[in-house]
Structure 1
Amino acid sequence: MDLVGAWRLVEWRIGAPGSGVSHPFGRDAVGLLCYTPDGYMSMTVSRAGHAPSPAGSPWGASPEPLTEPSAEASASFLSYAGRYEIREGQIAHDVELSLDRSVAGAVQVRELNVNGDRLVLATSERGDWHTMIWRRS
């Protein structure tokens, strides 16, 4: 199974018993998932049209200090990186860095299905079924 390379988000959906399906960052969410040959990964997902940093941010023209992400930014942007390991029918992301501090240091285990240029990662969380569908970039 060859996961190495870049994958673009097709859909992120959450199925909740009795509530139907929702799309946390909208049906048009965008994302990039990268796997390296030496066992590292990074994943970033954003609501479409996620606002860029203001010109006064550390990446802009002004030397403003770094600040914590705003609640709005955190609610529309997800990012983490670390090592990965493929297990029988699953993949484990050992999160080293994350926008959400509560995820750093955790191991995210996902059901894994690869079919050609499609990658599906899924997991159950608090009774809801999270599914992320990716297309090889």
Structure 2
Amino acid sequence: MKDPQFIGAWELQEWTIEKEDGSIEFPYGEDAIGKINYDGHGQMSVMIMKNNRPLMLSEDPLQSQPNEVLAAFKGFIAYSGNYEVHPHSNQVVHQIKMSSFPNWVGQNQIRKFEFRDDQLILSTDFIGPNKHKLVWRKILTVQNPKS
């Protein structure tokens, strides 16, 4: 099911991880940047990265040094695929088709959702010792496609 409230582009406001002991962490810093898009055809994509990541020495990403690649990988996550909204359980399921983290390809990522004013709040239950919460602000609304 597609929910028209999801459709559009959203900008990351905050990404926090709550630990089992109640402490809060910002995995990519308090100034992380990101964007998530949902379209009316059931497609979605998301990218999140650390702000102000260091530049690499080479202009060719395939010629980057291993330490540069490791730092870049640890400061960026992206995936895309299909999505389904389950309004009765307040869940959205991201069906991952491609990802910067290869282990997620073919998996479903389940998020609880809540709309508050112009914000979309996505959260997880505890995954191991971590509970994720991402706050997004709508920046673009896309019209529903014609059937």
State the partner residue of 2:137: 135
What's the CA shift for 1:50?
Answer: 2.4
Secondary structure at 1:6's aligned position in 2?
strand
Task: Choose the corresponding residue for 1:9, options 1, 8, 12.
Answer: 12
Question: Is structure 2 residue 73 aligned with structure 1 residue 74?
Answer: yes
How do 1:1-137 and structure 2 match up within 5 A? 1=3, 2-18=5-21, 20-51=23-54, 56-57=59-60, 70-87=69-86, 88=88, 89-123=90-124, 124-137=126-139
Structure with the largest fraction of strand: 1
Q: Name the CA shift for 1:36/1:67 in 2 (closer, same or farther; >3 Å).
A: farther
CA contact (8 A) 2:57 2:64 kept: no
Secondary structure at 2:104's aligned position in 1?
coil
Moved over 2 A (4+): 50-56, 64-69
Give me the whole-angstrom Cα distance separating, in 2, the residues matched to 1:54 and 1:93.
35
CA contact (8 A) 2:56 2:64 kept: no
Which sections of structure 2, spanning at least 5 residues, go unmatched?
Answer: 140-147
Give me the whole-angstrom Cα distance separating, in 2, the residues matched to 1:90 and 1:4.
15
Secondary structure at 2:72's aligned position in 1?
helix
Q: Which moved more, 1:103-112 or 1:69-78?
A: 69-78
Q: How many residues align?
A: 132
- What's the TM-score, normalizing by structure 1? 0.87
Give me the whole-angstrom Cα distance separating, in 1, the residues matched to 2:35 and 2:85.
19
User: What code does the residue aligned with 1:79 have?
Assistant: A
Which sections of structure 1, spanning at least 5 residues, go unmatched?
Answer: 59-63
What's the CA shift for 1:67?
Answer: 9.8
Structure with the largest fraction of helix: 2
User: CA RMSD for the aligned pairs?
Assistant: 2.2
CA contact (8 A) 2:35 2:48 kept: yes
